[in-house]
Amino acid sequence: MKIGIIGCGNMASSIAHSIKQSLEPQLFCYDIDLDKAHMFSRVYGATKVDSEMEIVNNSNIIIIAVKPKDIFDVLEKIKDGISEKIIVSIAAGISISKIKEVVGGKKIVRVMPNINISVQKGVMGICFSEEVTADEKEKILNLFKSMGEVIATDEKHMDAITALFGSGPAFVAHFIESCADAAVKLGFSRQESLNLILTLFEGTVVNMKNNMLTTQQVKDMVTSPGGTTIEGLVEFERRAVKGAIIDGILKAYERAKNIL
């Protein structure tokens, strides 16, 4: 499989790291920032090329991993070389129809991954343009299934997937950080706090998954009548923490719908 990556930033690195764990693709890379491309090629064993079009010429699957504001510039540069090749866009909020406005009726895949793909624990949404054949869909789905859980979906759900799972690692990190700050406030060192809070999150997730516990069951098991936990939960409710988290995710969703 020959995979070309345009844009060697955060997501491209997560994708390359993940692919290298389970598959043996031939990787090609290009970035407008030559140092980034150089570093990427060294870290992931990719062949660095000198233009967007060279990526297209060398690959069957072309992953465009630039910011939404830059994607149309890239599409303009590659549109004449695409032919039957598969274009994969991971740009937030950019629809297949917007991409087609530049490149025409080509084989387009829209993917919304998250950074957790680098440890094969991603949750990602995938949808296809009608030009992509059943065999090609299977090939692309298998590629991304090697990086985590794939939701093959109608495009109308992609903005919600962006807000929930694309942005999700940052939201979870924000909650982890809040807990770690509390630990520092209570006298633990910063490093110790982070390690312990990570174990708290990991332990809660594994416990819930292994024992098929609902959130309510966990809360009931932990919350003694008149005890300590209920004091914390009541304060979270008084400050509408849950509402704030839901509103934050909905803000991200609105932004995904209006990214440009």
Ligand X SMILES: NC(=O)C1=CN([C@@H]2O[C@H](COP(=O)(O)OP(=O)(O)OC[C@H]3O[C@@H](n4cnc5c(N)ncnc54)[C@H](OP(=O)(O)O)[C@@H]3O)[C@@H](O)[C@H]2O)C=CC1
Q: Find out whether 249 is annotated in a ligand binding site.
A: no
Question: If binding is defined by CB under 6 A, does position 118 make contact with ligand A1CAB?
Answer: no
Question: If binding is defined by CB under 6 A, does position 7 make contact with ligand X?
Answer: yes
d(C-alpha 59, C-alpha 35), whole Å: 22
Question: If binding is defined by CB under 6 A, does position 122 make contact with ligand X?
Answer: no
Return the C-alpha torsion angle 15, 19, 24, 26, nearest 10.
Answer: -10
Q: Find out whether 9 is annotated in a ligand binding site.
A: yes
Q: Are 64 and 74 in contact (CB under 8 A)?
A: yes
Question: If binding is defined by CB under 6 A, does position 168 make contact with ligand X?
Answer: no
Give the number of residues written for the chain.
260
Distances (CA, A) of 107 to 25, 26, 117, 128, 141: 20, 21, 24, 8, 14
Question: If binding is defined by CB under 6 A, does position 18 make contact with ligand A1CAB?
Answer: no
- To ligand A1CAB, the closest distance from the beta carbon of 234 in angstroms equals 33
For ligand X, give the closer residue by CB, 11 or 109.
11
Phi-psi region of 45 (alpha: psi -120 to 50; beta: other; left: phi over 0): left
- To ligand X, the closest distance from the beta carbon of 65 in angstroms equals 5
134 CB neighbour count, 10 Å cutoff: 8
Point out which span in 28-36, 46-54, 159-167, 175-183 binds ligand A1CAB (CB under 6 A): 159-167
Question: If binding is defined by CB under 6 A, does position 167 make contact with ligand A1CAB?
Answer: yes
d(C-alpha 153, C-alpha 126), whole Å: 6
Question: If binding is defined by CB under 6 A, does position 30 make contact with ligand X?
Answer: yes
Question: If binding is defined by CB under 6 A, does position 92 make contact with ligand A1CAB?
Answer: yes
- To ligand X, the closest distance from the beta carbon of 225 in angstroms equals 42
Residue located via tokens 């990427």: 40
Question: If binding is defined by CB under 6 A, does position 55 make contact with ligand X?
Answer: no
Q: Under the rule (CB under 6 A), what is the footprint of ligand A1CAB?
A: 92, 162, 166-167
